Structure 1
Amino acid sequence: MGQKLFLLLLLIVVSSSSSLFQFGISSSISHKSGDGNEEWGYVQVRPKAHMFWWLYRSPFRVKDASKPWPTILWLQGGPGGSGTGFGNFLEIGPLDSNLKPRNSTWLRKADLLFVDNPVGTGYSFVDNLGQFAKGDWDAANDMTTLLTKVSNNTIGLHNTPFYIFAESYGGKFAVTLALSLLRSIQAGHLKLNLRGVALGDSWISPEDFTSSWGPLLHDLSRIGSVAHQISNEIALEISDQIKKGMYDNATVSWNNLEDFIVTRSNGVDFYNFMLDDDMDPVVSTTINIESNSIDSMKLKGRKPSFFSYKNYKPGGEGNLDALMNGPIKQKLKIIPPDVTWGGQSDKVFEFFTADFMKPRINEVDELLAKGVNVTIYNGQVDLICCTKGVEAWINKLKWNELKSFLNTERIPLFCGKEKGTKGFIRSHKNLNFYWILGAGHFVPVDQPCVTLNMVSAITESPAS
């Protein structure tokens, strides 16, 4: 009778569990590919909060005792964009969304580590709503926990020069994470050779970006003078709300400003101001917002995140959602059956509304003061995180070398046999700024050649 009761209780527990981790699977689990070039796994960063990571070891690795092979951690934007999906299959990973080899993969210069960050993004998940990260520092703490467990126990990241590359909102994740990692390293909890942070088209100062949109689009003849004036008025309201610490209100006003600009510009693409939003083959913006309330934000067929992505269909193929929830999920084997890639991403943004419009300029300043190498790179035709806004927040840095940096001459960039100037770089001490010509928000996609050269220079990769 006792044994039957035990089996009955066990059956109830198993059948009512919402994930594999709730009935006995270890809080950390990993798996390797047959050739050993890939490794992935879950880390329980907090009770009932599980983060997914995926490491690619480069087949282009060069052994050079004087220049160790680097590792790049890629942080996607959103909040709620999946690095293992978007960054991996749409931008820099070894395969595209049709599972065809990508010639411009960043594996040519480094090993790549993708993490679905924050919890609830991509394959990462929480067992209840109370476990979502509630801001940039919560996300940084979770990522520090993950990297501590992965670096110390699983893949030995302490043996490699480690770089954080970020895109969009991922830039805010990157600077808070870097500071969190430095504290953990100093405390002796983490062995990691953090060598630099690279901020690609990053949402570091929302005030400076929203203030730039109206003037930039007016100069480009994309909006008229009346719309320009109204855009500036909304931007001033956002600036006032940020100064008063009314960040939730500022998020709603940002939403209103985007909606207004799209309407009055006849649908400009926020990721490439040379295009309409329905012309962009890779991404779509969150412009079709039907409500001013973030809590009830509804998008026409799109997920409510800062940077949402279309189901990428080059040539009518390559549906990313179908790919990640089909062949990739089957390959990985360890994704719980009831976890859907992106299934909780809609909720992630809601928990970041209080942090969404907060600037992270001070964090960049702190990294520079600590001697960390900081690289900023920006696409020329990006609107959402436009270069005009980036230059504005750089001028707000309190870094004691800022004047010398600003007075340093830019150097033009070229790429192989390609004709024409591809960009410019300005470097002084531990701050570098790359202007990438012809690129929108997604620099690696629009200008892969010069971007790979940039990655090589930042990481000092021994690859040719």
Structure 2
Amino acid sequence: MAAAKLLMLSSLAVLLLLFVNLLPSAAAAGTADGSEEWGYVEVRPKAHMFWWLYRSPHRVDNGTAPWPTVLWLQGGPGASGAGYGNFMEIGPLDTDLKPRSTTWLNKADLLFVDNPVGTGFSFVEGGDTSLLARTDAKAASDLTALLVTLYRDNKRLQGSPLYIVAESYGGKFAVTTALAALQAIANGQLKAKLGGVALGDSWISPEDSVLSWGPLLYEMSRVDESGLQQCNSIAQKIKAQLKANKYADAEKSWEDLETAVLEQSNFVNFYNLLKDESSDDTAALTLAGGGNKRWVRKEGYTSYLGSKATREGGLDGLMDTVVKAKLGIVPKNFTWGQQSGDVFEALEGDFMKPRIHEVDQLLKLGVDVTIYSGQLDLICATKGTLDWVQKLKWDGLKKFNDSPRKPVYCKGGEDGTQGFVRSYKNLKFYWILGAGHMIPIDNPCPALKMLGDITQSPAQ
């Protein structure tokens, strides 16, 4: 079996744990060869965040470009970076525990977190939901507290530029965390250097995203004129509610819009519009008479990611057996993702709030910002992303718009154009072809090439 062959996830690895006491509020463990470390940080009293750091076997120290570290932030909110991002998208092993040739360890060290607390293996004591983060700012504060602990007295991390790379709702966490981290760096609390922020298919502007759905589906023949009119009508209602700061009402209307999209399109998949929802998900969506809105908003993202797992028992089975045994520090009665649904509910008040202003702040501070978008994504469609970019007040926007797009190729170009990139000063935008919401899954080669360009990794 693969689990017996590979040290990374073998049961024997438990015997090789090196336990280290970092601080009274933190505990860590790792493999004997030092290639992996993982642990918990108590970011607030009774709130414990799980992290997992992989050191790349391809690390190059050439004295010119320092080797980067990528902090991967998953979406949801409530989806596990240590689970989905690691085993489904960019980590060293896939869900069958086989090596991934396109792992991002080819270009950087990788730091996965289960963020916010309550996600994945992270937890709040006693299941007390009052301890969960209820705003993006609070989630950013918790994550910054974790970084402060990890970087303290760690010269290797301190010498490696940190790139915060996000997917979906993780984009909101990325921009708020980057600003909080910069403040902590300025105050001398965080001994790190922020290399840049990359926002992948991110829920930065809910308004612009929902306004793009109807026209895109109409152009792709998934809805007719009547469906287009219905989608546009609800989207305009959301726009008016957001303008009036009625975020709870806007979220309810968003649920109505998602239901309308599914009904009018015969269950198009929000994460790859060339596909339909799976038969199991379609059954869930048709519960309660014409659409289970709660399922759409709460389970769709993780359900789609989970459907990519080929392992018997799925990702849940893997995380609660082999992975949990390897880690050795997860509370015995706690299962992976046990509190994730509560995380989504806790952040309801911020779910529909935009984070365009935070992107603007990062650009004005000179932080390198990369935005990348999958051609086939619907939930955070490229059109909506381009529309919110035009709302930036950054003084380089006009020259960015006037800059030419350059094609992106892989493998010497024999597979044709894989994407495009536009760049001016500290803003980059990547159009990734042949990919939906989860770009590293759908088209991993240009995603890895993009990472190398963003981080200027010295790896060959």
Distance 1:286 1:271, change over 3 A: farther
CA distance in 2, matches of 1:289, 1:419: 40
1:179-234 CA deviation, whole Å, 9 max, x = no partner?
A: 00011111111111101000000000000000000011011111010111011110
Q: Is the 8 A contact 1:79 1:305 kept in 2?
A: no
SS of the residue 1:307 aligns to: helix
1:248-282 CA deviation, whole Å, 9 max, x = no partner?
A: 111111111011101110010101111112289xx
1:269-320 CA deviation, whole Å, 9 max, x = no partner?
A: 101111112289xxx799827579xxx9643xx9925622354465563610
CA distance in 1, matches of 2:451, 2:27: 31
CA distance in 1, matches of 2:37, 2:286: 39
Q: CA RMSD in A?
A: 2.1
State the identity as a percent: 55
Q: How far did residue 156 of structure 1 move?
A: 4.7
Q: In the alignment, residue 426 of structure 2 is paired with which amino acid?
A: N
Q: Is the 8 A contact 2:95 2:311 kept in 1?
A: no
Q: In the alignment, residue 29 of structure 1 is paired with which amino acid?
A: A
Q: Is the 8 A contact 2:255 2:297 kept in 1?
A: no
1:27-58 CA deviation, whole Å, 9 max, x = no partner?
A: 21000111110000000000110000000000
Residue 380 of structure 1 pairs with residue 387 of structure 2 = no
Q: Which residues in structure 2 correspond to 1:176-325 (within 5 Å)?
A: 176-278=176-278, 288=285, 298-299=294-295, 304-305=298-299, 307-310=301-304, 311-312=306-307, 314-315=309-310, 317=312, 319-325=314-320
TM, length-normalised to structure 2: 0.90
Q: In the alignment, residue 150 of structure 1 is paired with which amino acid?
A: L
CA distance in 2, matches of 1:47, 1:211: 41
Residue 355 of structure 1 pairs with residue 355 of structure 2 = no
Distance 1:318 1:427, change over 3 A: farther
Q: Which residues in structure 2 correspond to 1:115-134 (within 5 Å)?
A: 115-127=113-125, 128-134=128-134
Q: Is the 8 A contact 2:405 2:422 kept in 1?
A: yes
Residue 78 of structure 1 pairs with residue 47 of structure 2 = no
SS of the residue 1:137 aligns to: helix
Q: In the alignment, residue 321 of structure 2 is paired with which amino acid?
A: G
Q: Is the 8 A contact 1:285 1:309 kept in 2?
A: no
- Structure 1 equivalent of residue 10 of structure 2: none
Distance 1:289 1:160, change over 3 A: farther
CA distance in 1, matches of 2:185, 2:29: 27
- Structure 2 equivalent of residue 138 of structure 1: 138
CA distance in 1, matches of 2:384, 2:26: 41
SS of the residue 2:112 aligns to: strand
- Structure 2 equivalent of residue 8 of structure 1: none
Please, which runs of 5 or more residues in structure 2 have no aligned partner?
Answer: 1-22
SS of the residue 2:274 aligns to: strand
- Structure 2 equivalent of residue 17 of structure 1: none
CA distance in 1, matches of 2:270, 2:307: 17
CA distance in 2, matches of 1:72, 1:123: 20
- Structure 1 equivalent of residue 8 of structure 2: none
Q: Is the 8 A contact 1:43 1:51 kept in 2?
A: yes
SS of the residue 1:452 aligns to: helix
* Equivalent residue in structure 2 for 1:408, among 403, 406, 427: 403
- Structure 1 equivalent of residue 89 of structure 2: 91
Q: How far did residue 67 of structure 1 move?
A: 1.0
Q: How far did residue 130 of structure 1 move?
A: 1.1
Q: Is the 8 A contact 2:73 2:167 kept in 1?
A: yes
Residue 172 of structure 1 pairs with residue 172 of structure 2 = yes
Q: How far did residue 448 of structure 1 move?
A: 1.1
Q: In the alignment, residue 80 of structure 1 is paired with which amino acid?
A: G
Counting matched residue pairs gives: 432
CA distance in 1, matches of 2:450, 2:212: 26
Q: Is the 8 A contact 1:116 1:124 kept in 2?
A: yes
SS of the residue 2:263 aligns to: helix
SS of the residue 2:302 aligns to: coil
Query: Larger % of helix: which?
Result: 2
SS of the residue 2:423 aligns to: strand
Distance 1:286 1:72, change over 3 A: farther
Q: How far did residue 153 of structure 1 move?
A: 4.1
Distance 1:313 1:212, change over 3 A: closer
- Structure 2 equivalent of residue 18 of structure 1: none
Distance 1:80 1:315, change over 3 A: closer
- Structure 1 equivalent of residue 110 of structure 2: 112
* Equivalent residue in structure 2 for 1:30, among 25, 28, 31: 28
Please, which runs of 5 or more residues in structure 1 have no aligned partner?
Answer: 1-24
* Equivalent residue in structure 1 for 2:417, among 398, 421, 434: 421
1:120-156 CA deviation, whole Å, 9 max, x = no partner?
A: 0000001111100001000000001000011114575
Distance 1:375 1:286, change over 3 A: farther
SS of the residue 1:322 aligns to: helix
SS of the residue 2:172 aligns to: helix
- Structure 1 equivalent of residue 392 of structure 2: 397
Q: Is the 8 A contact 1:97 1:312 kept in 2?
A: no
Distance 1:447 1:313, change over 3 A: closer
Q: Is the 8 A contact 1:199 1:377 kept in 2?
A: yes
Q: In the alignment, residue 67 of structure 2 is paired with which amino acid?
A: W
- Structure 2 equivalent of residue 21 of structure 1: none
Q: Is the 8 A contact 1:168 1:200 kept in 2?
A: yes
Distance 1:159 1:135, change over 3 A: same
CA distance in 2, matches of 1:193, 1:33: 26
CA distance in 2, matches of 1:249, 1:168: 22
Q: In the alignment, residue 337 of structure 2 is paired with which amino acid?
A: G
Residue 338 of structure 1 pairs with residue 333 of structure 2 = yes
Distance 1:451 1:347, change over 3 A: same
CA distance in 1, matches of 2:438, 2:266: 22
Larger radius of gyration: 1
Q: Is the 8 A contact 1:379 1:443 kept in 2?
A: yes
Q: How far did residue 100 of structure 1 move?
A: 0.6
SS of the residue 1:197 aligns to: strand
SS of the residue 2:348 aligns to: coil
